[in-house]
A and B are shown apart, each in its own frame.
Chain A
Amino acid sequence: MHKYANPTVFMRLANAVLPWAAGACVLLFAVAIPLALYASPADYQQGDTVRIMYIHVPAAILGEMVYGLMAAASATYLIWRHQLAALIARAAAPIGAIFTALCLITGMLWGQPMWGTFWVWDARLTSMLLLLFLYVGYLALGDAFEDQERGEKAAAVLALVGSVNIPIIIFSVEWWNTLHQGSIFKMNGEGMKVTVSPEMLAPLFTMMGAYVAFFVTILVLRMRIEILNAKIRNARITQAAAPMVATQAAQAR
């Protein structure tokens, strides 16, 4: 397992996964979009606005999952100093931010016709907005220091501290009164209970799969960018140091 902590080995694996993830993404979207917009039924209460769910719910779940991945990678980086972990976290953050923003805006577009308002400051919506701010803060903090490593560490600490928000988002609809509807999957004494009709689950799951495949595709590409950034930094440092070393050598002579 440890050999995958080596960036070269890991990237070889990641590059092998890339075409499959990209292919799966295209295929799953090609199935999910017609299912979501046409083949699935309108809701008996919410009418056709329920179709926003197929964009909104996977965006919410991915926004939270990507943050979880980012926080776990940040912890790995802070504890074991794995550069690969820092790289994964930094590559994942902008994608997670996009999912979260998409979730918030589609939520508003769903809220207006169903609740009569674009926004309420209740626990679910506010904690999701906080998630977006955490992503933005993480990205800003990572670039805020002259010293690359200090920025990375500060951002990693923020990612870890912010992870307390994830359970708050998930359980907010149960802990507090809210306009937001409850979870689609509910755990009770007998196990998991699904609260939407099977005809709506098919588009939801295929869309979920498409989002995951999309995330993996972009993640691998962004990891390549992060690796190149590190290589460019190193090349610049040696390049800047080279004439200095030459002068020192000349003076010593």
Chain B
Amino acid sequence: MDRFFAMGGYAQYVWPSYALALVAFVGILVVTRSTLKKREAEFERLKRERQDG
């Protein structure tokens, strides 16, 4: 197990690469989903206002 994490002595290069990919992908997914939710709510609000007014 230790050998796996040591990555043949290159742990400090290999693991950050994978961590960075994870952060980048999860990051864009989270940002995209929250933006989508916000826009959906905003559009619904505008639609309601138009119906009321």
Contacts and interface: CB of A to CB of B under 8 A. Distances in A.
Interface string A71-106: 000000000000000000000001100100110011
Given A52-B14, A225-B35, A235 B46 contact: yes
Nearest to A106: B17
- Chain B interface mostly: helix
Given A106-B21, A109-B16, A235 B43 contact: yes
Contact of B39 (A56, A113, A229): A229
A102 B47 CA distance: 40
Contacts of A59: 21
B32 A218 contact: yes
A236 B13 contact: no
Contacts of B42: 228, 232
B40 interface: yes
A48 B10 contact: yes
A8 interface: no
A221 B46 CA distance: 21
Given A51-B7, A94-B28, A101-B24, A232 B46 contact: yes
Given A48-B7, A102-B24, A109-B13, A235 B39 contact: no
A235 B45 CA distance: 11
B41 to A, nearest CB: 10
Contacts of A113: 10, 13
Given A109-B13, A228-B39, A55 B29 contact: no
Interface residues of A, number: 38
B42 to A, nearest CB: 6
A239 B49 contact: yes
Contacts of A102: 20-21, 24
A37 B18 contact: yes
Contacts of A94: 28
A224 B42 CA distance: 14
A106 B39 contact: no
A48 B11 CA distance: 8
Contacts of B35: 225
Contacts of A239: 46, 49-50
A56 to B, nearest CB: 7
A11 to B, nearest CB: 13
A214 B4 CA distance: 27
30 contacts: A37-B4, A37-B18, A38-B4, A42-B8, A47-B8, A47-B9, A47-B10, A49-B7, A49-B14, A51-B17, A52-B13, A55-B20, A55-B21, A59-B21, A98-B25, A98-B28, A101-B24, A102-B21, A109-B16, A113-B10, A228-B36, A228-B40, A228-B42, A229-B39, A232-B39, A232-B42, A232-B46, A235-B46, A239-B46, A239-B49
